Each structure stands twice: as C-alpha cells, then as structure tokens.
Structure 1
C-alpha cells in the first residue's frame, strides 16, 4: 500500500504544472478514492534554486462540521485514589 502511494505521488513529479495545481490534483484523487468527511493535505516541494514551497489544501464534505475542540489544558482533574474495600 505504501509503495502504491509512493508511485502515485511520483507520477506527479515531472508534470509541468504549478505546485498549487498539483497539490489540488492529489487531494482530489485522494478524496475520490477515500470519500472522507474532512481531509487536509500539506505538500512540501523541494525544487532547484533553493526555493522550497509548502502548500496546504483542504476538503470538507458538504454539511460536515468539525466537532467542538476539547481544551485538555484547562480541565481540572482529581488525583486518582486507590479503590478501598471498606
């Protein structure tokens, strides 16, 4: 499975296209294959000339809303006490 994914990614290597367009093509292909409710794809492009580009693209299924995040840093917790039998 990883080899198939690697080969799929490498198939975009020699395309004469903008990084944003290729990132969106990869995201569209993954969305079609996996049908996720939400997907975020971040691509890192290493090119000649010392210019590195990072592109992020997202897909959200129509009507899907992200769950409310839980901030675990502000939750108060009691210390765990051993079970007593009586």
Structure 2
C-alpha cells in the first residue's frame, strides 16, 4: 500500500499522532463530519455540472405564429364584434 510518497511506516506514525492529539472518542466525530463535507462537496459539483450541460428550457410563444393564409382564414371565421351603442 503506497499513498504517493508516504510509506506504511509514515502513515502509521501519522495515525498514532492523530490518535494522541484527538483521542479515541473524538476521531469518529471528525471522520463523520469530514465525510459529510465531502458528500456535500460532490453533490454541489454534480449540480453545477448538470446546470452547465443541461440545455436551457426554451419558452414557447403564447400565440402560435401561422402563415398569412391561416391568419386570413381565422379572421374570416370570427364574427364582427357587436357594438354597445
């Protein structure tokens, strides 16, 4: 097992120092909060990637634009509005 330039002996010494500094009761709390932080970081990175790669939704026009012939046919079908006076 080789972590970069650290050998087994160096990693063991670091773990013993951490155990002496924080104590056996505190290490699981530190590891848990570190894990939660890493998970939140990954989630934020995935959300940012999704926002970048997802196409932006296009808004549909409210009134469909038709050809001139379709507009004229629609105008002919509509009755003229009644006058109030």
Q: Same fold (TM over 0.5)?
A: no
Q: TM-score, normalised by structure 1?
A: 0.25
1 or 2, which has the higher helix percentage?
2
1 or 2, which has the higher strand percentage?
1
Q: TM-score, normalised by structure 2?
A: 0.25
Q: Which has the higher contact order (CA 8 A, sep 6+)?
A: 1
